[in-house]
Every structure is written in structure tokens, then in C-alpha cells.
């Protein structure tokens, strides 16, 4: 069964946040800040006005993240994006094509 675009996006965001927390911050489990970012990102995806036809958030005309959370997510993606090629190559490739 094929997953929806939003479900795939949620999985990718979670993977990136967990990778960031584990490798950059050296935590074995999600720290409270990363947990907060993950819940925030999932909530924003659930409320996305474009639904299943959404673009990559970077290209979206409607920025629904608060500026502070958007900056945190940008840091996570900058760190985790290249490393996803090692830890989850298929997800990384799919994420690149959906941008």
C-alpha cells in the first residue's frame, strides 16, 4: 500500500530530527527541544492547507512555521540532509526528488 505524501513527509522529518539529536547533540533519545520540534512539525503537516498536493515546505508560498521553529528546522535539515544518504539512502533520494 502506497503511503500518502503527508505520511512520507512526516517520516522524513522525524528521521531527520532523530538523526540530528543523536549525531549532533549526542543524545540516545530525543531531547525535549527536539521532541518539541517534532511535535510542532507534525502538527504543521497535519494542518497543511495544501493537503496531499503539498509542495516542499521550502517552496511553499504559505510559511506556516513560526520564525524560530523554521530556523531550528533549517538547522536540522542542513545537518541531517547530507547524512541521510548514509543512514537512509532511499528516503534521502525520495526527499530530493520531492523538493
The pLDDT confidence band at residue 78, using thresholds 50, 70 and 90, is very high
Residues 54-61 have a mean pLDDT of: 69
Q: Which sequence spans correspond to the domains of the chain?
A: 5-98
**25's grid cell:** 547533540
**29's grid cell:** 533519545
> Does residue 6 contact residue 50 with C-beta atoms inside 8 Å?
no
Instruction: Read off the pTM.
Output: 0.85
pLDDT at 98 over 60: yes
pLDDT value, residue 69 = 94
How many other CB atoms are found less than 10 A from the CB of residue 37? 23
Name residues whose C-beta falls within 8 Å of residue 56's C-beta, 6 or more positions apart in sequence: 98, 99
Name residues whose C-beta falls within 8 Å of residue 91's C-beta, 6 or more positions apart in sequence: 11, 12, 15, 84
> Does residue 44 contact residue 50 with C-beta atoms inside 8 Å?
no
> Does residue 15 contact residue 88 with C-beta atoms inside 8 Å?
yes
Question: Using CA atoms, how far apart are residues 38 and 35, in angstroms rounded to an integer?
Answer: 5
pLDDT value, residue 58 = 67
Amino acid at each position: 500500500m502506497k503511503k500518502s505524501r503527508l505520511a512520507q513527509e512526516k517520516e522524513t522529518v522525524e528521521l531527520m530530527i532523530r538523526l540530528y539529536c543523536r549525531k549532533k547533540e549526542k543524545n540516545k533519545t530525543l531531547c525535549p527541544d527536539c521532541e518539541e520540534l517534532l511535535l510542532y512539525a507534525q502538527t504543521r503537516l497535519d494542518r497543511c492547507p495544501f493537503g496531499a498536493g503539498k509542495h516542499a515546505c521550502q517552496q511553499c508560498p504559505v510559511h506556516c512555521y513560526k520564525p524560530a521553529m523554521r530556523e531550528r528546522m533549517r538547522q536540522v535539515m542542513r545537518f541531517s540532509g547530507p547524512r541521510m544518504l548514509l543512514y537512509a539512502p532511499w528516503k534521502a533520494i525520495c526527499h530530493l526528488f520531492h523538493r
